[in-house]
Amino acid sequence: MRGFFAMAVPAIVGGVWLAHEHGRSGSRFVLALGTGLLTRLVLAALAAFGASRSGGTATTGLLAGLAAGFAPVTVLEMIWFSRARVRSGVPSARRG
């Protein structure tokens, strides 16, 4: 239960901050987005470290938690920003 709250509370706080900054001018939205993503990455790494030390079914629980919480939020953000870039006509980076 503590692990759930340790992952859920920062994600909810980051999401509220992100929603609050959405549509405002300046770079605070990007700061909120980056901080939320970095926080989730650090928490996922700490959870993976703890699960690897515990062994047993902790790794299975970690993978289930990451699949249910971390991955969908990150994919949603990636899709949302790619769609916004396409709608605004911002060209993507070209290679070569």
- Side-chain half-sphere CA neighbours of 94 within 13 A: 3
Average pLDDT over residues 65-79: 78
Distance CA 39, CA 7 (A): 9
| pLDDT for residue 63 | 81
Average pLDDT over residues 66-72: 78
What would the pLDDT profile of 13-54 be if each residue is shown by its tens digit? Answer: 887 888 888 777 778 888 888 888 888 888 888 888 888 888
pTM: 0.64
The torsion angle over the Cα atoms of residues 60, 62, 67 and 72, rounded to 10 degrees, is 180
| pLDDT for residue 94 | 56
| pLDDT for residue 89 | 63
